[in-house]
A = this chain, B = another copy of it.
Amino acid sequence: MKSETLPQLDVELVGEMLLGKWKDIRLATRKICEKPEMWQIPGLTHHEHRQRVLGQLKTLVAEGATSYGFPKIAGGNADPGGSLTVFEELIFADPSLQIKYGVQWGLFGAAILYLGTESHHKELLPKVINLETPGCFAMTETGHGSDVANIGTTATYDEQTQEFVIHTPSRHAWKDYIGNAALHGKAAVVFAQLITKGENHGVHAFYVPLRDDNGNFLEGVGGDDDGIKGGLNGIDNGRLHFTNVRIPRTWLLNHYGDVDEAGNYSSPIESKGRRFFTMLGTLVQGRVSITGGVTNAQKIALTIAIRYANERRQFPSHTGEEHVLMDYGRHQRRLLPALARTYAQAFAHLELLEQFDEVFSGRNDTDSTRADLETVAAASKALSTWNALDIIQLSREACGGQGFMAEHRMVGLRADLDIYATFEGDNNVLLQLVAKRLLSDYSKAFASPDFGTLAQYVVEQVGDVAFNRGGLRGLAQKFTDFGSTARSIGFVRDEEHQHQLLTDRVHTMIARLANELKHSGKKDPVEAERMFNRHQNDLIMAAKAHGELIQWEAFTSALKRIKNPETLKVMTWLRDLFGFTLLEENLAWYLMNGRLNSHRAEAITEYIDGRLLGRLKPHALDLVDAFGLSEGLIRSDLAFGSESKRRETLKKAKA
């Protein structure tokens, strides 16, 4: 290919798209992350690292970066999307800082905000914002992680003293993995079974002081340190337990359920199950912002790996000059689809963030928009956190031994992000929630009377759902016959047909599963459980396919906004690479279900290897440049010419 025929990518334009709606806050947070005192230092002990990150939190307070998510009456900016944006960008400094910010201002602060009421906001939130009260989000217990509804901690109302008694009944019910619990937390939002007049009203949240100003546990409170973890060692995760700790009645965060002085329980939501999921739903921001965070980590890793691949030379070519790694077909196969996937994920996340802000700003807050948001966030968090681990790993492997050096960031990012796959909802459990929603949409659409009894096995979650932004997509049009015999990529290359193929797979999988599970619903519960477990893997695969469809759609929506034809051309190739990779990964399904014949299926792989990779290779550097990451954010010289400089010494030696 001659260079004059290459389309030019408008790096600035694409960069602007990736910055999205909260561009100013994003850039301002990056400025903070560029300060050396905010950087992760590899090799600190966990004690040193924890102290460093605590200090960094104070810097964030001083920079005014901690108030976005809170209402004006608490001294906040009432900008929910802005708050998540700060979280997302902090990963450039140190994932430990990001998550400690998330614990303090995302989980602890947001629980007070969304589960509490005005008096809590006025009294408690200012000290959350300014870090006077470092706090914990004490939900998970050693014995119950994914299954929050069955936690063991109790909050029993004592009418005599008008207090709640917070109590941990067993070692099994200790709060565990709680950020800020080992050292810094002065208070906690504790999730416990609310019991009054002998009746359990399910899990509610309570504000519970933990430590005095000297850092000593208050009476009845105990705990220990989770110690060293696989990553995020700048956070003092720990365990907490409570022995008949008494708190005032008014420290129940009473937005969704209250107890009056006489011990009478009331709630605006009658159904216990629905109340529980509504309360948990207010905490969706963690899942939303995690995707933004890990996408940034992927950008770091790919910037390093792709720039290095364009400088590093290994094995001589026929001219005697060594090839750059990016010349190798296998190297392109590893890095370019990862780049396409990262773009898809980035665009999907920016949509999700706006969706979140619409709901949480109140501009478009309905049961339906909340349910959609929760579904998309669940899919997004699961897919993106696994993508991040895979893509950081392949980037590190693509840099060989250099990639293993801590100074080049990738191993540290991977270690820190490992837990993202199972915290804030285990990825498999989240995908099951998504599948539940898709089955429920399907069931409503087809009004199958037997379906309800079975859906309960797909994780309990109740909510109003319909065919809409979060759930099952309608097929754009009558299905095109891709199974015909002509050997041609033309049909599949077309955007609408990619969409059809991806959508149809989700539909068909869900329809088939709904049918299978419906039949078993007539049988006994043992058989129903057996049938669910027989198909649990398929359910999760269907949810994954749905999440990928959302990403593909977001990428495609982004293309609609590009007016520059050359940029559009390159970005369309990148979207096609993403779409084709999805088809290729699931080729057996398309073949078995007659959606593609063998010739067309083969043409997909041929088109990737024979066309798309070669077309995109010359644009790979521009595509990572569009991430717009400075040296202070990346901090690996592999991305800033160190290999070329070393080669200069080689040339000099030869000269």
B415, B538, B587, B650: the one within 8 Å of A415 (CB): B415
A588 at the A/B interface (Cβ < 8 Å)? yes
Residues on B with C-beta less than 8 A from A563 are: none
| Residues B598 and A229 in contact, CB atoms below 8 Å apart | no
A172 at the A/B interface (Cβ < 8 Å)? yes
Given contacts A147-B315, A405-B227, contact A46 B45 (CB under 8 A): no
A187 at the A/B interface (Cβ < 8 Å)? no
Copies assembled: 2
Tell me the nearest residue of chain B to A327, going by C-beta.
B533
| Residues B650 and A172 in contact, CB atoms below 8 Å apart | yes
Residues on B with C-beta less than 8 A from A652 are: 170
Shortest C-beta distance, A581 to chain B (Å), equals: 12
Given contacts A314-B144, A411-B415, A418-B396, contact A404 B533 (CB under 8 A): no
| Residues A426 and B411 in contact, CB atoms below 8 Å apart | no
Residues on B with C-beta less than 8 A from A396 are: 230, 418
A419 at the A/B interface (Cβ < 8 Å)? yes
| Residues B172 and A647 in contact, CB atoms below 8 Å apart | yes
Given contacts A328-B533, A415-B230, A587-B588, contact A318 B401 (CB under 8 A): no
A557 to B412 alpha-carbon distance, docked (Å): 42
A423 to B176 alpha-carbon distance, docked (Å): 37
B314, B646, B654: the one within 8 Å of A146 (CB): B314
A120 to B332 alpha-carbon distance, docked (Å): 45
| Residues B404 and A540 in contact, CB atoms below 8 Å apart | no
B317, B330, B537: the one within 8 Å of A536 (CB): B330
A452 to B361 alpha-carbon distance, docked (Å): 68
| Residues A329 and B534 in contact, CB atoms below 8 Å apart | yes
Chain A residues 353 to 389 lying within 8 A of chain B, measured CB to CB, are: 389
A432 to B227 alpha-carbon distance, docked (Å): 43
A218 at the A/B interface (Cβ < 8 Å)? no
Given contacts A146-B315, A649-B172, contact A404 B422 (CB under 8 A): yes
4 new A-B contacts, CB < 8 A, other than A227-B406, A230-B404, are A171-B649, A229-B411, A328-B533, A396-B418
Partner-B contacts on A (CB < 8 A): 42-43, 45-46, 140, 142-147, 150, 152, 169-173, 176-177, 226-231, 314-318, 322, 327-330, 332-333, 389, 393, 396-397, 400-401, 403-407, 410-412, 414-415, 418-419, 421-423, 426-428, 432, 459, 525-526, 528-529, 532-538, 540, 584, 587-588, 591-594, 598, 601-602, 609-610, 646-647, 649-650, 652-654
The 8 A-B pairs with the shortest beta carbon distances in the complex, nearest first, are A230-B411, A318-B525, A587-B588, A329-B536, A169-B653, A329-B533, A170-B649, A172-B650
Q: List 12 A-B contacts (CB under 8 A).
A: A43-B46, A142-B646, A169-B653, A227-B405, A229-B405, A229-B406, A230-B396, A230-B406, A230-B412, A230-B414, A400-B422, A591-B601
